Every structure is written in C-alpha cells, then in structure tokens.
Amino acid sequence: MRVNIKKLSNLRHHAWHARFAAVILISSLLLSAPLLGNSKLYAANKKQVEFVADNPPYLEDFVISSEDDKISLSLSVANPFDLEIKSLLLNGVSQKISLNVEVSVNSFNLYLVKFDRTLSDNTYIHNIDYDNLKKVFTITTSPDKKPIETDSYKKAVEIASTFKEITLLHKNQIEIGRFYQVETQTEIREVSLPFHLEYLFFFLSAWDRKSNSYTLDIPNQLLTEILKR
C-alpha cells in the first residue's frame, strides 16, 4: 500500500544563504486507516530555489519506504554537474556523486534533556566515466552491481544521480517510543585532473560541489508498521 503525502515531515536543510522547510500534510482519513503491507511516503516534488550565482546541486524526490522488515530511503540529486564539470567529464575525467546518510535516534533522559545518538553514518558513491573513443558513458552504482552503459549524457547523469532503497533501519533497531531521523547531503567529489588537463582546467583543480543538508523525520506510521510484522 502506498501513502501519498503532499509534504514530508520536517524537511529541513541549512544553507549559507537561505533556509527552507516543509511540513507533513496528511488527511484524517489516512491517519485513521491502518497501514497494510509495504508502504511508501513521498516528499513533494517542489524543487528547492536555486541560487543564480553558484547554481548548487540539491536533493529531491524523497521516498521513505517500509518493506522486508526494514525502512529505506530513495532520492535524486538535481543539478549535480555544472558546465565546467560536464566539460571535464566529456574530456575523459571521471566524476563521482556521493551521498552521505546519517541516521540518529532522538530520546529524552530523566531530566527531559533531548539528545541524539547516531545509529549509522554511511557514504554511497556513484561513478560516471566517459570513453571518448567509444562515445559511451559507464555508470557504476555499486561494486556488487554490473556497470550500466549508455550513449546519452542525460541518461547517464540521471542514473548516476539516483539513489534507490538505501537501508536506514532494520526491525531489530526500532524501539517503541523513540523518534528517528535521517540527515543526508550530496557532494560532487574534488576533481583530480590528469596532468595534460591541469593547464586547461586550472580553476577546477580543487573543485567540489555540495548540497545543503536535509533532515527528515522517519514517520511513526512506518515504524509502527514494521514493529507489527
């Protein structure tokens, strides 16, 4: 069963120039109805306002799902490469899109002081390469998965910037009465240029791009559903 939500709870990200937020909007009908089977919660497709000056990458299309006794996160990285990074890629310089995902549990001690405890902190990396001779892009999303090839730049970037079913919590990690959060951020790793390209792209020798940091509350509906299985 899928639960569609207009906006996911407490979607917060902190930026140097701006700060945005979104809140959950769930109908009373959905709140009163029990969740059956596998469920998914969707963030709104509203895109973050982009800065004209630096046009940074940002995260969108958040989906938190519960299935197979675990809770997972899927999302996309929008605007990962600018024109300079694209130029490097087409000149044969491999690029990486990394996603850091940190899961924490919020609780209260005897003095009612809130504290966070990190349960996991992992980084997922997608690689994208371009063969100038074959005119083919190769995307590697996991050492355990076969690389994907395509001759389309748009398709290659779409695959490399999509992260699917990242495990956040297993059933045995969930405790009744606790609140869980996930914080995530993407980074386009520093570019390491071949010697013959350093003089052409000297301004990118230490280039890196980061998104804002996003914090999501893992909905209690999904936690409850997992515990009932």
Contact in structure between 44 and 6 (CB atoms under 8 Å): yes
Share of the chain above pLDDT 90, in %: 44
Instruction: Report pLDDT for 80.
Output: 92
- How many C-alpha atoms does 85 have within 13 Å on its Cβ side? 25
> Does the pLDDT value for residue 53 go beyond 80?
no
Picking from 107-116, 129-138, 200-209, which range would have the lowest pLDDT averaged per residue?
200-209
Dump pLDDT digits (tens) for 19-33.
333 323 333 333 333
8-22, 41-55, 138-152 — most confident range: 138-152
Give the model confidence (pLDDT) of 147-157 as tens digits. 999 999 999 99
Of the two residues 117 and 49, the one the predictor is more confident about is 117
**pLDDT for 200 beyond 90:** no
